[in-house]
Chains A and B, each alone.
Chain A
């Protein structure tokens, strides 16, 4: 994670450089030019070398579905997946429009008639699966945050409570999502029984699995941050006789915001990784299911399409982390 961060930080010229550029007009000293070029070119160079290596190495790897896809095939399949999505959209729009026309006709005959619009029954496309995954991961992550931050504050504030809870945290923290999944599935199907369900069961299963696996870093970091508030500041709070809530709101929380956000970023990364695995195993809609379906499909294009998914997963994970970083910069006082 750190290497990615530093790489992107250096890809933008720092502020002082911008000021120097203005003051000097276009006349850059050779050393500045070189620094500028390094910052822009090195990441690009890294990507190019990787793609080149991939291009050369891929045909050497033979699988039962043909040789491993190179960058060109993957690029082609990415376009293909997008095309399929566009086609599907068009058909769905037509399907809805048709129903609306029909409903209008029925209502014209009989204004009391009950009319319905059915959703397009076609299979979800790659972008649809991405959106499902994103919604699931964000829901799971938010539930995890809603549990972990308050609990972390309580654990951090109270040493006795911390001593009681710590062994549980240490034991549950390293549990793999795959171990939780069957249990969560069974519990969800047994307890979430409703005629008109608000959520799909598969959505709940993946979401709860994500929550269970991703709340630990936030919980631990919050409790550490809360326990590490500068003792002088705690004394200030005591001298001022701040009430418990004011103390938490005005001293403890702001002081631990940097730690909490570090935890949140780790949690979100874990949530995203866990989700893909959960979807694959549980066959619940999302990117994981897409990968698994392509694997089962076993056509000559499957590997390329899986590779598209792999790159998309990585890129989305990266974007999610960046977004958390932006929020952190807005909220945290030490940025």
Chain B
């Protein structure tokens, strides 16, 4: 076994709410090797995004911590690049300029102008977006914008790439396209990736390992499943591969039997479901 690249130890996350502290995560322990593609899966509101934000340094764990390459993580940084769900491109910059903003910031000293320009183009080509370099994010489709978001993150040469439901906002066909592209890129670059998803097929197809999280509050790692399928993977041939089907069932069983989410569907408004509230408090805390 190679040595641990990223380690989460005893991570607890509590948010202050008017009703007292809300413990979203409790005692999360996780070791990730270099080059591993790890998916975090769980029902909405279970704190997947919170885990990712702690690794990104956008949130500070109330207990425990995160160590990357032997350094403790306590603030955000480009070595932990994030791909956001809604691309998060600056709408006033062109596709090229968006990547440039990152490259300029990260390689200001180590690359000269020409090298930076080549590096930006290289990353845009990697995601097949070189043809739209001069377009604004508003002028390209959601899938294309997300490709640029990925290019921007890759251009930072991150030690670990963090993806927060990167394909969640896309339609099924676009999503499949982007998953294939991501697999190709991953084959080539062998990045360490943590991806949040709620899509079982996506998790099994892309990952080396799936971390299944229990339902919140006080969510933690439920099961840790290694996906031992040969690469390159093909979604069509895998569809009736018995191993693939088995992995898929494992995840489904965890999500819908062991951790079945009890949605409070009440005809009256009084029984407010728990999830949106939780998510709101999470996102509020992330903004603060």
A and B bound? yes
Contact between A240 and B92, CB atoms less than 8 A apart = no
Task: Assess the B91–A235 pair: CB atoms within 8 A.
Answer: no
Contact (Cβ within 8 A) A251 B90:
yes
The interface-forming segment of A111-119, A226-234, A314-322 is A226-234
Contact between A238 and B58 (Cβ–Cβ < 8 Å)?
yes
| B287: Cβ under 8 A from any A Cβ | yes
Within 208-249 of A, Cβ neighbours of B (below 8 Å) are at 230-236, 238-242, 246
Shortest beta-carbon distance from B135 to chain A in Å = 13
Name the residue on B nearest A257 (C-beta).
B92
Per-residue CB proximity of B269-288 to A under 8 Å, as 1/0?
Answer: 00000000000000100110
Contact A233 B88 (CB under 8 A): yes
On chain A, the residues within 8 Å of B91 by CB distance are 333-334
CA distance in complex: A234, B283 (Å):
13
A234 to B78, CA, bound (A): 14
> How long is the Cα–Cα vector from A146 to B1 in the complex, in angstroms?
62
Which A residues lie within 8 Å of B252 (CB)? none
Bound Cα distance from A251 to B82, whole angstroms: 17
- Given the complex of chains A and B, what is the CA–CA distance between A41 and B190 in angstroms? 66
Task: Determine if A38 is an interface residue (Cβ-Cβ < 8 Å).
Answer: no
Cβ of B213 within 8 Å of any chain A Cβ, yes or no, is: no
* A255 at interface by CB-CB < 8 Å: yes
Q: Nearest CB to that of A246 among chain B residues?
A: B105
Contact of B77 among A239, A246, A257 (CB under 8 A): A239
Tell me if B35 counts as interface (CB < 8 A to partner A).
no
**How many chain-B residues does the 8 Å CB contact rule pick out?**
26
A240-B90 Cα distance, complex, nearest whole Å: 13
Q: Beyond A231-B287, A250-B101, A333-B136, is A240–B106 a contact (Cβ under 8 Å)?
A: yes
- Of A234, A236, A250, most buried by chain B (CB within 10 Å of CB) is A236
Known: A235-B58, A236-B84. A255 touches B92 (CB 8 A): yes
- Chain B's nearest CB lies how many Å from the CB of A265? 19
Given A231-B287, A241-B76: A236 in contact with B92 (beta carbons within 8 A): no
Convert B55-76 into 0s and 1s, putting 1 for each residue whose CB lies closer than 8 angstroms to a CB of A: 0111000000000000000011
Q: In the complex, are the beta carbons of B80 and A239 less than 8 A apart? A: yes
Partner of A232, one of B86, B102, B156: B86
A254: Cβ under 8 A from any B Cβ = yes
List B contacts of A334 (CB < 8 A): 91-92
State whether the Cβ of B81 lies closer than 8 Å to any Cβ in chain A: yes
A window 250-289: CB within 8 A of B: 250-251, 254-255, 257
Contacts of B106 in A (CB 8 A): 240
Judge whether A239 and B90 touch: CB under 8 Å: no
Chain B 149-188 against A: per-residue CB contact (8 Å), 1 yes, 0 no? 0000000100000000000000000000000000000000
When C-beta atoms are compared, the residue in chain A nearest to B101 turns out to be A250
CB pair A333 B101 closer than 8 Å: no
Q: Which residue of B lies closest to A333 (CB)?
A: B92
Using Cβ atoms and an 8 Å threshold, which residues of chain A touch B86? Answer: 232
Q: Do A242 and B105 touch across chains, with their CB atoms under 8 A apart? A: yes
Known: A232-B84, A333-B91, A333-B92. A240 touches B105 (CB 8 A): yes
- Asked whether, in the complex, the Cβ of A241 is within 8 Å of the Cβ of B286, the reply is no
Nearest residue (CB) in A for B90 is: A233
Docked Cα-Cα span, A40 to B97, in Å, equals: 42
B136 engages A240 (CB within 8 Å) = no
CB pair A240 B286 closer than 8 Å: no
List A residues at the B interface (Cβ < 8 Å): 230-236, 238-242, 246, 250-251, 254-255, 257, 333-334
List the interface of chain B (C-beta within 8 A of A).
Answer: 56-58, 75-78, 80-82, 84, 86, 88, 90-93, 101-102, 105-106, 136, 156, 283, 286-287
Jot down 7 A-B pairs with beta carbons below 8 A, ordered by A: A233-B90, A235-B56, A235-B88, A236-B84, A236-B90, A240-B106, A254-B92
Q: Which 10 A-B pairs have the closest CB atoms?
A: A333-B92, A232-B88, A238-B76, A254-B92, A239-B76, A231-B287, A240-B105, A232-B84, A236-B88, A239-B82
Starting from the known contacts A232-B86, A254-B92, 19 additional A-B residue pairs (CB-CB under 8 Å) come to A231-B283, A231-B287, A233-B88, A233-B90, A234-B287, A235-B56, A235-B58, A235-B76, A235-B88, A236-B84, A238-B75, A240-B105, A241-B77, A242-B105, A251-B90, A255-B90, A255-B92, A333-B91, A333-B92
